[in-house]
Amino acid sequence: MKTFLKNIGRAGKKIGSAGKKAGLIIVDKLRRHPIMCNVVLSILMTIILETLGRQRSDFASIFQFADERTKMFLYSILIMFLSYSIVLVVKRRLFTYIVVTLLWSVVGIVNWMMLNTRNTPFTYVDITLLKSVLPVMSNYFSPTEIVSMGALLLIALVLLVVAFMYLPMEKKLKRKKGFLQLAVICVIFSGVTAMGFKTGDLTDHIHNILLAFDDYGTSYCFAITALKNGIDKPSNYSEKTIDRIEDRTDKAVAKMEEDEKKKNETVEKPNIIFVQLESHFDITQVKGVTFNKDPLPNFHKYMKEYSSGQLSMPSYGAGTANSEFEVITGMNLDHFGAAEYPYKTVLQDTTTESMATVLKEQGYTAHAIHDNSAAFYDRDLVFSQLGFDTFTTKETMNIKKWTENGWAKDSVLTGCINDGLNSTDGEDYVYCISVQGHGDYPTTEIIENPEIKVTGGIDDEAMKNKYTYYANQVYQMDQFVGDLVKSLEKRNEKTILVMYGDHLPSLNIENEDLTYGNKYETSYFIWDNMGLQKTDGEIEAYDLGSEILKKCHIHNGVMNSFHQTRKGTENYQEDMKNLQYDMLYGKQYVWNQENPFKATDLTFGIRDLEVTKAYETDDSVFIVGNNFTNYAEVYVDDVQINTTYHNEHLLEVPKDSLEDGDTFTVSIVSKAPRVLRTSKPYVYKEK
């Protein structure tokens, strides 16, 4: 037995020695033939990234990508090859291989994690927003996952330090040859890229980043979001150009106002309400798909009776924030970078004109409403930059009804909109963002006895379940539409209500599946109680606000007056790009080089938090008041104490957390974390 074990030991040593020798030979070969090594690593990393990006445990989707999008698959390998080519001119060749491989691996792993948790791919912008992402990581990852990520990061850093210190360097680096090879590779890459854009195989206009990652690959999409963002400076941008555009617009506005004066048309100031319905469109327009009854009876009714039509949106399947950006600012996303979200980039530190600022010049108060978290898409920051006065969010609502997959039901919004209107004596501008129709849509049947049933046109059971779930959500959203209109009819105040979908849902719908043939269009209607003439048609999202203000004879504002007078004229898009660049990135000639807009001090919610009484029991102190929500927390001397929410009038804290004479407040706290609203101080008295 001992002899047997000794033989095994000797064999193991020989195998280990041979393996070590073979490894050294391979490493030496790779060091001496970096081009060959780069090719191999580039192919492997492309396969790994695309496997992670497609969330598959097999390689079937990679073969499909390579087969159907062969040019993009090869271009993805070329991107990798270019990134590895830096090893041609550095002495620490092995260390550089490790660094480049590690960086691309991080992109792939983080992309996989984000797709699993948020159904949103990883882009360069996410790196620039890392500071704002860290506080909300717990929304998407468990404490164990966060600790694991931290530990992996620490291990990776330690290994990099060790690798830097101990891995061998090239003793005879042929630097001139290396730089020549690198130059040739860069020239080839530049030529292929230029040809790709010329033939249309490559694009920097991405409307749906999720679909783009499937179509163009992880490495290309990540790179293009890093290299192409903001608005490129127009070739003819100058003060003279901006003056020319403004002069032409001013003359057209003056003529329009003169014509209105002749017709005795004066400025109207109704309440103006925009309701952006999440993932909403007319599902009955999908060819061949039938239902047991109309899922959108109210929406169809108001489309027939009031101005309505198709709204051209900047995105498909996702991108809510970009839809509202176009509607609120009147700016065209086509002039921005690939898959850009201005909420995540320029509006992080820049204020600008918006529907809110235009209407506030007319005496309006501007309210934003969203039945999701305040920090989603950084709206708690961005809406301040856009001039809103109040922002009512999920944290400040008492939401009692939720969808089967956890989104708030939109019925809560009727009361929130009316609270906003009731909060002032003057006119109000309300921008409300719905959430109920949000994906993902389940492939299994999770609604018991659904009101809306798919009766034909879909054979695949999983897709049928998706359609059934979605159809029932939009049916309930349609009930909210009807209830909201009825509540506005009772107010006896002049009102214009605009309702539309932000984008189509992620149900794999293509142009050929729709009766109207465009997956970037959703339906809209414009309800009013002012007797406005019914005018139907297709409208661009960035032009919707100006169309509404034109009905009210309101013409102030750079983008508003521009759209009202220049739509369809020569150089319309070129001049629009100049204005957008000037306002957000240029010298702001439109405002005499001084931005007039200041970030507002947003008030979160409409109703005040009130504490009316506090009483003790054997184990607890109960706090009585008004307008508490599930996000209410009690603070004593700025220290948060454990708080239990019972209902909008009652909170509970441990008895030992309050002493006689303590002053406490109740605050609404988001998960960001951020204190959104606070009650007046209350002095606790023991009895």
Say if residue 31's pLDDT is above 80.
no
pLDDT at 4: 44
> What tokens does 529 get?
């109680």
Q: Where are the alpha helices (DSSP H) in 593-680?
A: none
pLDDT at 22: 47
Which of 83, 337, 114 minimizes the C-alpha distance to 226? 337
> What tokens does 322 get?
């970009």
pLDDT at 5: 46
> Mean pLDDT across the chain, nearest whole number?
90
Lowest mean pLDDT among 14-18, 353-357, 401-405, 581-585: 14-18
> What tokens does 616 get?
């003790």
DSSP string, 310-368: EEE-S-SSS-HHHHHHHHHH---GGGS-TT--TTTTGGGT-----HHHHHHTTT-EEEE
Query: Quick one: average pLDDT of 623-633?
Result: 97
Lowest mean pLDDT among 43-52, 205-214, 340-349, 404-413: 205-214
Residue type, 20: K
Query: What confidence tier does 350 reach under pLDDT thresholds 50, 70, 90?
Result: very high
Query: What confidence tier does 158 reach under pLDDT thresholds 50, 70, 90?
Result: confident
Angle at CA 256, nearest 5°, toward 361 and 540? 75
pLDDT at 503: 94
pLDDT at 131: 57
> What tokens does 437 get?
């129709």
Pairwise pLDDT comparison (324 vs 56), residue with the higher score = 324
Distance CA 672, CA 376 (A): 9
Query: Quick one: average pLDDT of 75-89?
Result: 93
Query: What confidence tier does 636 reach under pLDDT thresholds 50, 70, 90?
Result: very high
Say if residue 304's pLDDT is above 50.
yes
Say if residue 376's pLDDT is above 90.
no
Say if residue 55's pLDDT is above 70.
no
DSSP string, 563-579: HHHHTTSTTHHHHHHHH
Pairwise pLDDT comparison (9 vs 303), residue with the higher score = 303
Helix (H), strand (E) counts: the chain? 21, 20
Which of 502, 123, 542, 190 minimizes the C-alpha distance to 338? 123
| Integer angstrom CA distances of residue 576 from 205, 327, 549, 581 | 17, 15, 18, 9
Distance CA 178, CA 252 (A): 61
pLDDT at 424: 96
Say if residue 118's pLDDT is above 70.
no
Lowest mean pLDDT among 87-101, 153-167, 665-679: 153-167
Which residue shows structure tokens 């074990």? 5
Contact 395, 330 (CB under 8 A): no
DSSP 8-state symbol, 313:
-
Lowest mean pLDDT among 239-243, 382-386, 389-393, 618-622: 618-622
- Largest Cα–Cα separation, the chain: 113
Angle at CA 643, nearest 5°, toward 639 and 649? 120
DSSP 8-state symbol, 431:
E
Which of 476, 482, 450 minimizes the C-alpha distance to 465? 450
Say if residue 14's pLDDT is above 80.
no
- pLDDT tens digits, residue range 530-584? 999 999 999 999 999 999 999 999 999 999 999 999 999 999 999 999 999 999 9
pLDDT at 207: 66
Query: What confidence tier does 213 reach under pLDDT thresholds 50, 70, 90?
Result: confident
Say if residue 27's pLDDT is above 60.
no
* Backbone φ, ψ for residue 621 (5° rounding): -115, 125
Question: Cis omega before residue 378 (within 30°)?
Answer: no
Name the percent of the chain lying above pLDDT 70.
Answer: 92
Query: Quick one: average pLDDT of 400-404?
Result: 93
Say if residue 640's pLDDT is above 90.
yes
Say if residue 105's pLDDT is above 70.
yes
Distance CA 175, CA 152 (A): 35
Contact 500, 307 (CB under 8 A): no
Distance CA 366, CA 363 (A): 10
Say if residue 23's pLDDT is above 80.
no
Query: Quick one: average pLDDT of 159-177?
Result: 81
